Amino acid sequence: MQKICLLGSTGSIGINTLNVIRENKHLFQVSCLTVNSKTELLSKQIAEFKPEVVVIRDEKAADNFRKICSSKVEILSGEEGLLNATRDLEYDILVSALVGFAGLAPTIEAIRRKKRIALANKETLVVAGKLITEMANKNGAEIIPVDSEHSAIFQSLVGEHENSIRRIILTASGGPFRHHEISELGKVSVADALNHPNWSMGDKITIDSATMMNKGLEVIEAHWLFNLEADDIEVVVHPQSIIHSMVEFIDGSIKAQLSIPDMKLPIIYALGYPERLKNSFTVTDFTKIGQLTFFEPDFSKFECLKLAYDVLSQGGTAPCILNAANEIAVNKFLTEKIGFLDIPKIINDSLNKIEVVSSPDIETIFDCDRKTREFVELNY
Protein backbone atom coordinates (compact mmCIF):
# COMPACT_ATOMS: atom_id res chain seq x y z
CA MET A 1 0.00 0.00 0.00
CA GLN A 2 1.48 3.37 -1.07
CA LYS A 3 0.66 6.39 1.07
CA ILE A 4 -0.07 9.59 -0.81
CA CYS A 5 0.38 13.18 0.29
CA LEU A 6 -1.72 15.25 -2.14
CA LEU A 7 -0.96 18.97 -2.34
CA GLY A 8 -3.83 20.90 -3.93
CA SER A 9 -6.59 18.31 -3.54
CA THR A 10 -9.43 20.65 -4.53
CA GLY A 11 -7.83 21.65 -7.84
CA SER A 12 -8.23 20.10 -11.26
CA ILE A 13 -5.22 17.77 -10.88
CA GLY A 14 -6.08 17.14 -7.21
CA ILE A 15 -9.62 15.99 -8.04
CA ASN A 16 -8.33 13.82 -10.89
CA THR A 17 -5.77 12.27 -8.53
CA LEU A 18 -8.52 11.35 -6.09
CA ASN A 19 -10.50 9.85 -9.01
CA VAL A 20 -7.47 7.66 -9.72
CA ILE A 21 -7.09 6.69 -6.05
CA ARG A 22 -10.83 5.91 -5.75
CA GLU A 23 -10.44 3.20 -8.41
CA ASN A 24 -7.27 1.85 -6.79
CA LYS A 25 -7.97 1.81 -3.07
CA HIS A 26 -6.21 -1.54 -2.83
CA LEU A 27 -2.96 0.17 -3.93
CA PHE A 28 -3.10 3.74 -2.63
CA GLN A 29 -4.11 5.36 0.61
CA VAL A 30 -4.38 9.11 1.26
CA SER A 31 -2.33 10.29 4.23
CA CYS A 32 -2.60 14.04 3.69
CA LEU A 33 -4.73 16.49 1.70
CA THR A 34 -3.92 20.18 1.36
CA VAL A 35 -6.01 23.06 0.02
CA ASN A 36 -5.88 26.81 -0.15
CA SER A 37 -9.34 27.66 1.20
CA LYS A 38 -12.08 25.43 -0.33
CA THR A 39 -13.10 23.65 2.87
CA GLU A 40 -16.53 22.53 1.70
CA LEU A 41 -15.04 20.20 -0.92
CA LEU A 42 -12.21 19.28 1.46
CA SER A 43 -14.81 18.15 3.99
CA LYS A 44 -16.28 15.67 1.48
CA GLN A 45 -12.79 14.46 0.57
CA ILE A 46 -11.99 13.86 4.26
CA ALA A 47 -15.17 11.81 4.68
CA GLU A 48 -14.31 9.64 1.68
CA PHE A 49 -10.52 9.28 1.84
CA LYS A 50 -9.92 9.58 5.61
CA PRO A 51 -6.51 11.29 5.64
CA GLU A 52 -4.60 11.55 8.93
CA VAL A 53 -3.78 15.21 8.32
CA VAL A 54 -5.16 18.08 6.26
CA VAL A 55 -3.59 21.46 5.67
CA ILE A 56 -5.59 24.60 4.93
CA ARG A 57 -3.28 27.36 3.83
CA ASP A 58 -5.70 30.22 4.48
CA GLU A 59 -5.63 30.77 8.29
CA LYS A 60 -9.14 32.19 8.48
CA ALA A 61 -10.63 29.31 6.51
CA ALA A 62 -8.68 26.91 8.76
CA ASP A 63 -10.04 28.52 11.96
CA ASN A 64 -13.60 28.31 10.67
CA PHE A 65 -13.12 24.72 9.60
CA ARG A 66 -11.72 23.70 13.00
CA LYS A 67 -14.99 24.88 14.57
CA ILE A 68 -17.25 22.81 12.32
CA CYS A 69 -15.16 19.73 11.48
CA SER A 70 -16.52 16.63 13.22
CA SER A 71 -13.92 14.17 11.87
CA LYS A 72 -10.85 13.30 13.98
CA VAL A 73 -8.42 14.41 11.26
CA GLU A 74 -5.54 16.66 12.37
CA ILE A 75 -5.92 20.15 10.88
CA LEU A 76 -2.78 22.19 10.16
CA SER A 77 -2.74 25.64 8.60
CA GLY A 78 -0.68 28.23 6.80
CA GLU A 79 2.52 27.79 4.86
CA GLU A 80 4.16 26.42 8.00
CA GLY A 81 1.47 23.71 8.16
CA LEU A 82 2.23 22.75 4.57
CA LEU A 83 5.93 22.46 5.33
CA ASN A 84 5.33 20.56 8.58
CA ALA A 85 3.13 18.02 6.81
CA THR A 86 5.55 17.40 3.94
CA ARG A 87 8.50 17.32 6.36
CA ASP A 88 7.14 15.11 9.15
CA LEU A 89 4.25 12.99 7.96
CA GLU A 90 4.57 9.39 6.83
CA TYR A 91 3.97 9.04 3.06
CA ASP A 92 5.56 7.42 -0.01
CA ILE A 93 4.48 9.66 -2.89
CA LEU A 94 4.04 13.42 -2.94
CA VAL A 95 1.58 14.55 -5.61
CA SER A 96 2.61 18.16 -6.14
CA ALA A 97 -0.51 19.76 -7.62
CA LEU A 98 -0.47 23.22 -6.10
CA VAL A 99 -0.54 26.01 -8.60
CA GLY A 100 2.38 28.43 -8.91
CA PHE A 101 5.51 29.23 -6.90
CA ALA A 102 3.75 28.03 -3.72
CA GLY A 103 4.55 24.46 -4.83
CA LEU A 104 8.32 24.92 -4.54
CA ALA A 105 8.95 24.83 -0.77
CA PRO A 106 6.86 21.73 0.09
CA THR A 107 8.27 19.87 -2.92
CA ILE A 108 11.79 20.54 -1.64
CA GLU A 109 10.84 18.98 1.72
CA ALA A 110 9.69 15.80 -0.02
CA ILE A 111 12.86 15.62 -2.15
CA ARG A 112 14.99 15.96 0.99
CA ARG A 113 13.15 12.92 2.35
CA LYS A 114 13.82 10.92 -0.86
CA LYS A 115 10.11 10.56 -1.67
CA ARG A 116 8.72 9.93 -5.14
CA ILE A 117 7.43 13.22 -6.54
CA ALA A 118 4.52 13.00 -8.97
CA LEU A 119 5.08 16.49 -10.33
CA ALA A 120 2.22 18.49 -11.82
CA ASN A 121 3.48 21.81 -10.45
CA LYS A 122 5.71 22.77 -13.39
CA GLU A 123 6.53 26.14 -11.77
CA THR A 124 8.83 24.29 -9.32
CA LEU A 125 11.15 23.30 -12.19
CA VAL A 126 10.75 26.61 -14.01
CA VAL A 127 11.99 28.70 -11.08
CA ALA A 128 14.51 26.30 -9.51
CA GLY A 129 15.12 23.53 -12.05
CA LYS A 130 18.87 23.37 -11.50
CA LEU A 131 18.68 23.14 -7.69
CA ILE A 132 15.70 20.77 -7.73
CA THR A 133 17.18 18.29 -10.21
CA GLU A 134 20.57 18.35 -8.43
CA MET A 135 18.88 17.79 -5.07
CA ALA A 136 16.72 14.98 -6.45
CA ASN A 137 19.74 13.24 -8.01
CA LYS A 138 21.80 13.60 -4.85
CA ASN A 139 19.02 12.24 -2.62
CA GLY A 140 17.80 9.60 -5.05
CA ALA A 141 14.29 11.11 -5.09
CA GLU A 142 12.38 10.22 -8.27
CA ILE A 143 10.59 13.01 -10.11
CA ILE A 144 7.90 11.51 -12.33
CA PRO A 145 6.18 14.11 -14.51
CA VAL A 146 2.40 14.46 -14.45
CA ASP A 147 2.27 17.19 -17.08
CA SER A 148 0.86 15.26 -20.05
CA GLU A 149 3.62 16.28 -22.51
CA HIS A 150 6.40 15.34 -20.13
CA SER A 151 4.69 12.11 -19.17
CA ALA A 152 4.53 11.28 -22.90
CA ILE A 153 8.25 11.93 -23.28
CA PHE A 154 9.07 10.04 -20.09
CA GLN A 155 7.05 7.07 -21.36
CA SER A 156 8.70 7.26 -24.80
CA LEU A 157 12.13 7.16 -23.16
CA VAL A 158 11.61 3.95 -21.20
CA GLY A 159 14.32 1.52 -22.36
CA GLU A 160 16.23 4.20 -24.31
CA HIS A 161 19.65 5.78 -23.67
CA GLU A 162 19.81 9.50 -22.93
CA ASN A 163 22.50 9.96 -25.61
CA SER A 164 20.29 8.51 -28.36
CA ILE A 165 17.84 11.44 -28.24
CA ARG A 166 18.05 13.86 -31.19
CA ARG A 167 15.25 16.18 -30.05
CA ILE A 168 11.87 16.22 -28.42
CA ILE A 169 8.69 17.63 -29.88
CA LEU A 170 6.26 19.15 -27.40
CA THR A 171 2.75 19.30 -28.77
CA ALA A 172 0.48 22.27 -28.00
CA SER A 173 -3.24 22.59 -28.62
CA GLY A 174 -2.72 26.22 -29.65
CA GLY A 175 -5.38 27.37 -27.15
CA PRO A 176 -8.57 29.31 -27.85
CA PHE A 177 -6.87 32.08 -29.89
CA ARG A 178 -5.12 29.98 -32.51
CA HIS A 179 -7.12 31.61 -35.31
CA HIS A 180 -7.17 35.15 -33.89
CA GLU A 181 -5.23 37.98 -35.50
CA ILE A 182 -2.77 39.68 -33.13
CA SER A 183 -4.82 42.88 -33.51
CA GLU A 184 -7.83 41.07 -31.97
CA LEU A 185 -5.95 39.75 -28.94
CA GLY A 186 -5.97 43.10 -27.10
CA LYS A 187 -9.76 42.90 -26.86
CA VAL A 188 -10.37 39.32 -25.78
CA SER A 189 -12.35 38.82 -22.56
CA VAL A 190 -11.55 36.64 -19.53
CA ALA A 191 -14.39 34.29 -20.55
CA ASP A 192 -12.89 33.95 -24.08
CA ALA A 193 -9.47 33.13 -22.62
CA LEU A 194 -10.90 30.58 -20.16
CA ASN A 195 -12.63 28.72 -22.99
CA HIS A 196 -9.93 26.09 -23.69
CA PRO A 197 -10.74 23.86 -26.67
CA ASN A 198 -9.53 20.48 -25.26
CA TRP A 199 -8.71 20.51 -21.55
CA SER A 200 -10.62 21.49 -18.42
CA MET A 201 -8.04 22.87 -15.97
CA GLY A 202 -7.51 25.47 -13.23
CA ASP A 203 -7.84 29.15 -14.21
CA LYS A 204 -4.14 30.01 -14.09
CA ILE A 205 -2.97 27.25 -16.44
CA THR A 206 -5.96 27.89 -18.73
CA ILE A 207 -4.87 31.53 -19.18
CA ASP A 208 -1.28 30.30 -19.61
CA SER A 209 -2.55 28.07 -22.41
CA ALA A 210 -4.29 31.01 -24.08
CA THR A 211 -1.05 33.09 -24.04
CA MET A 212 0.99 29.94 -24.83
CA MET A 213 3.06 30.71 -21.72
CA ASN A 214 2.05 27.22 -20.62
CA LYS A 215 4.04 25.76 -23.51
CA GLY A 216 6.93 28.09 -22.69
CA LEU A 217 6.95 26.89 -19.08
CA GLU A 218 6.85 23.33 -20.41
CA VAL A 219 9.91 23.94 -22.60
CA ILE A 220 11.81 24.98 -19.45
CA GLU A 221 10.36 22.03 -17.52
CA ALA A 222 11.50 19.65 -20.30
CA HIS A 223 14.99 21.17 -20.28
CA TRP A 224 15.43 20.19 -16.62
CA LEU A 225 13.61 16.86 -16.70
CA PHE A 226 15.33 15.48 -19.77
CA ASN A 227 18.63 17.39 -19.72
CA LEU A 228 18.17 18.90 -23.20
CA GLU A 229 19.18 22.26 -24.64
CA ALA A 230 16.55 24.73 -25.87
CA ASP A 231 17.52 24.01 -29.51
CA ASP A 232 16.59 20.36 -29.04
CA ILE A 233 13.11 21.15 -27.70
CA GLU A 234 10.65 21.97 -30.45
CA VAL A 235 7.04 23.09 -30.07
CA VAL A 236 4.45 21.97 -32.63
CA VAL A 237 0.80 23.00 -32.58
CA HIS A 238 -1.41 19.91 -32.71
CA PRO A 239 -5.01 21.07 -32.20
CA GLN A 240 -6.51 17.62 -31.47
CA SER A 241 -4.26 17.00 -28.38
CA ILE A 242 -4.11 13.28 -29.17
CA ILE A 243 -0.32 12.98 -29.48
CA HIS A 244 0.84 14.24 -26.09
CA SER A 245 4.46 14.68 -27.25
CA MET A 246 7.20 12.85 -29.15
CA VAL A 247 10.87 11.94 -29.00
CA GLU A 248 13.02 11.79 -32.12
CA PHE A 249 16.09 9.55 -31.79
CA ILE A 250 19.47 9.88 -33.55
CA ASP A 251 18.50 7.19 -36.07
CA GLY A 252 15.49 9.26 -37.18
CA SER A 253 12.86 7.09 -35.46
CA ILE A 254 10.16 8.85 -33.50
CA LYS A 255 8.23 7.55 -30.50
CA ALA A 256 5.06 9.18 -29.22
CA GLN A 257 2.40 8.56 -26.60
CA LEU A 258 -1.24 8.99 -27.61
CA SER A 259 -4.71 8.96 -26.09
CA ILE A 260 -7.73 11.19 -25.95
CA PRO A 261 -6.97 14.03 -23.51
CA ASP A 262 -7.48 12.83 -19.91
CA MET A 263 -5.15 13.89 -17.08
CA LYS A 264 -5.99 10.72 -15.14
CA LEU A 265 -3.66 8.85 -17.52
CA PRO A 266 -0.43 10.71 -16.71
CA ILE A 267 -1.45 10.75 -13.03
CA ILE A 268 -1.98 6.97 -12.84
CA TYR A 269 1.27 6.42 -14.72
CA ALA A 270 3.22 8.58 -12.23
CA LEU A 271 1.64 6.78 -9.26
CA GLY A 272 2.07 3.27 -10.63
CA TYR A 273 5.43 3.59 -12.45
CA PRO A 274 7.10 1.33 -13.49
CA GLU A 275 3.85 -0.69 -13.53
CA ARG A 276 0.93 0.21 -15.79
CA LEU A 277 -2.35 0.06 -13.90
CA LYS A 278 -5.60 -1.12 -15.44
CA ASN A 279 -8.40 1.42 -15.30
CA SER A 280 -11.77 2.38 -16.75
CA PHE A 281 -10.86 5.91 -17.83
CA THR A 282 -10.30 6.28 -21.52
CA VAL A 283 -10.97 4.57 -24.81
CA THR A 284 -9.37 6.18 -27.83
CA ASP A 285 -11.31 5.60 -31.05
CA PHE A 286 -9.22 6.74 -34.04
CA THR A 287 -12.14 6.42 -36.43
CA LYS A 288 -13.92 9.14 -34.42
CA ILE A 289 -10.79 11.34 -34.27
CA GLY A 290 -10.31 11.17 -38.05
CA GLN A 291 -7.39 13.56 -38.48
CA LEU A 292 -4.23 14.54 -36.70
CA THR A 293 -2.82 17.88 -37.87
CA PHE A 294 0.31 19.90 -37.06
CA PHE A 295 1.28 23.58 -37.40
CA GLU A 296 4.18 25.86 -36.58
CA PRO A 297 3.60 28.06 -33.51
CA ASP A 298 3.39 31.80 -34.15
CA PHE A 299 6.07 33.35 -31.95
CA SER A 300 5.17 36.92 -32.86
CA LYS A 301 1.52 36.45 -31.88
CA PHE A 302 2.34 34.44 -28.74
CA GLU A 303 5.19 36.51 -27.32
CA CYS A 304 5.09 34.62 -24.01
CA LEU A 305 6.38 31.49 -25.75
CA LYS A 306 9.31 33.45 -27.16
CA LEU A 307 10.03 35.03 -23.75
CA ALA A 308 10.19 31.57 -22.17
CA TYR A 309 12.81 30.41 -24.71
CA ASP A 310 14.73 33.65 -24.06
CA VAL A 311 14.86 33.19 -20.27
CA LEU A 312 15.89 29.57 -20.69
CA SER A 313 18.97 30.72 -22.67
CA GLN A 314 19.60 33.52 -20.19
CA GLY A 315 19.46 31.17 -17.18
CA GLY A 316 19.98 32.15 -13.52
CA THR A 317 16.96 33.88 -11.99
CA ALA A 318 15.54 34.99 -15.38
CA PRO A 319 12.96 32.12 -15.45
CA CYS A 320 11.99 32.99 -11.85
CA ILE A 321 11.33 36.62 -12.86
CA LEU A 322 9.28 35.44 -15.85
CA ASN A 323 7.26 33.08 -13.66
CA ALA A 324 6.51 35.57 -10.87
CA ALA A 325 5.60 38.36 -13.30
CA ASN A 326 3.37 35.94 -15.19
CA GLU A 327 1.59 34.75 -12.01
CA ILE A 328 0.72 38.30 -10.94
CA ALA A 329 -0.14 39.42 -14.48
CA VAL A 330 -2.47 36.43 -14.98
CA ASN A 331 -4.19 37.25 -11.67
CA LYS A 332 -4.65 40.83 -12.79
CA PHE A 333 -6.06 39.68 -16.13
CA LEU A 334 -8.46 37.27 -14.38
CA THR A 335 -9.72 40.12 -12.18
CA GLU A 336 -10.05 42.39 -15.26
CA LYS A 337 -7.43 44.90 -14.12
CA ILE A 338 -5.33 44.53 -17.28
CA GLY A 339 -5.86 43.37 -20.86
CA PHE A 340 -4.65 40.12 -22.43
CA LEU A 341 -1.68 41.70 -24.22
CA ASP A 342 -0.54 43.39 -21.01
CA ILE A 343 0.57 39.95 -19.78
CA PRO A 344 3.65 39.67 -22.06
CA LYS A 345 4.30 43.40 -21.67
CA ILE A 346 4.48 43.14 -17.85
CA ILE A 347 6.77 40.11 -18.11
CA ASN A 348 9.03 41.94 -20.56
CA ASP A 349 9.18 45.03 -18.34
CA SER A 350 10.00 42.88 -15.29
CA LEU A 351 12.80 41.12 -17.14
CA ASN A 352 14.22 44.50 -18.16
CA LYS A 353 13.97 46.06 -14.69
CA ILE A 354 14.92 43.27 -12.28
CA GLU A 355 18.51 42.18 -11.99
CA VAL A 356 19.22 38.57 -13.02
CA VAL A 357 21.46 36.60 -10.65
CA SER A 358 23.43 34.02 -12.61
CA SER A 359 23.93 31.16 -10.08
CA PRO A 360 21.22 31.61 -7.46
CA ASP A 361 20.88 29.58 -4.27
CA ILE A 362 17.41 28.81 -2.97
CA GLU A 363 17.21 31.97 -0.79
CA THR A 364 18.06 34.09 -3.85
CA ILE A 365 15.23 32.44 -5.76
CA PHE A 366 12.71 33.21 -2.98
CA ASP A 367 14.05 36.76 -2.89
CA CYS A 368 13.75 37.17 -6.66
CA ASP A 369 10.17 35.85 -6.63
CA ARG A 370 9.22 38.35 -3.88
CA LYS A 371 10.95 41.31 -5.57
CA THR A 372 9.28 40.59 -8.91
CA ARG A 373 5.83 40.32 -7.33
CA GLU A 374 6.36 43.62 -5.53
CA PHE A 375 7.53 45.29 -8.76
CA VAL A 376 4.46 44.16 -10.70
CA GLU A 377 2.00 44.92 -7.88
CA LEU A 378 3.43 48.40 -7.50
CA ASN A 379 3.58 49.36 -11.17
CA TYR A 380 0.46 47.90 -12.83
| Binding-site size, ligand NAD (CB under 6 A) | 26
Told to check if 327 binds ligand NAD by CB under 6 A, we report no
80: part of which helix (H) or strand (E)?
A: helix 78-88
Told to check if 110 binds ligand NAD by CB under 6 A, we report no
Contact partner at residue 24 from ligand NAD, Mg ion, none, CB < 5 to 8 Å by partner kind: none
For residue 369, count CB atoms less than 10 angstroms from its CB and return exposed for 0-12, middle for 13-18, buried for 19 or more: buried
Beta carbon of residue 254, minimum distance to Mg ion (angstroms, whole number): 19
314: part of which helix (H) or strand (E)?
A: helix 303-314
Closest residue (Cβ) to ligand NAD? 11
251 φ, ψ to 5°?
-90, 5
Told to check if 51 binds ligand NAD by CB under 6 A, we report no
Told to check if 129 binds ligand NAD by CB under 6 A, we report no
With respect to Mg ion, which residue has the nearer C-beta, 149 or 369? 149
Told to check if 264 binds ligand NAD by CB under 6 A, we report no
Beta carbon of residue 216, minimum distance to ligand NAD (angstroms, whole number): 12
Q: What is the dihedral of CA 81, 82, 87, 90, to 10 degrees?
A: 90
Beta carbon of residue 120, minimum distance to ligand NAD (angstroms, whole number): 3
Total number of residues shown for the chain: 380
Q: 295-313 in b/e burial notation, b at 16+ Cβ within 10 A?
A: eebbeebbbbbbbbbbbbe
Q: What share of the chain is helix, strand, coil (3-state, %, to 5)?
A: 50, 15, 35
Contact partner at residue 8 from Mg ion, ligand NAD, none, CB < 5 to 8 Å by partner kind: ligand NAD
Q: List all residues 6 or more positions away from 237 whose beta carbon is below 8 Å from its beta carbon.
A: 171, 172, 173, 174, 178, 294, 295, 296, 297
Distances from the Cα of 208 to the Cα of 88, 125, 192, 204, 253, angstroms: 34, 16, 13, 6, 31
Told to check if 97 binds ligand NAD by CB under 6 A, we report yes
Told to check if 125 binds ligand NAD by CB under 6 A, we report no
- Give the one residue of 147, 208, 248, 369 binding Mg ion; rule: CB under 5 A: 147
Angle CA 111–116–117, to nearest 5: 70
Beta carbon of residue 215, minimum distance to Mg ion (angstroms, whole number): 8
- Give the one residue of 64, 69, 130, 202 binding ligand NAD; rule: CB under 6 A: 202
Told to check if 147 binds ligand NAD by CB under 6 A, we report yes
- Give the one residue of 4, 5, 12, 174 binding ligand NAD; rule: CB under 6 A: 12
Angle CA 78–108–322, to nearest 5: 85
Beta carbon of residue 117, minimum distance to ligand NAD (angstroms, whole number): 13
Specify the pairing of strand 165-172 against strand 254-258: unpaired
Interface residues toward ligand NAD, by CB under 6 A: 8-14, 35-36, 38, 57, 97-99, 102, 120-123, 147, 199, 201-202, 204-205, 263
Interface residues toward Mg ion, by CB under 5 A: 147-149
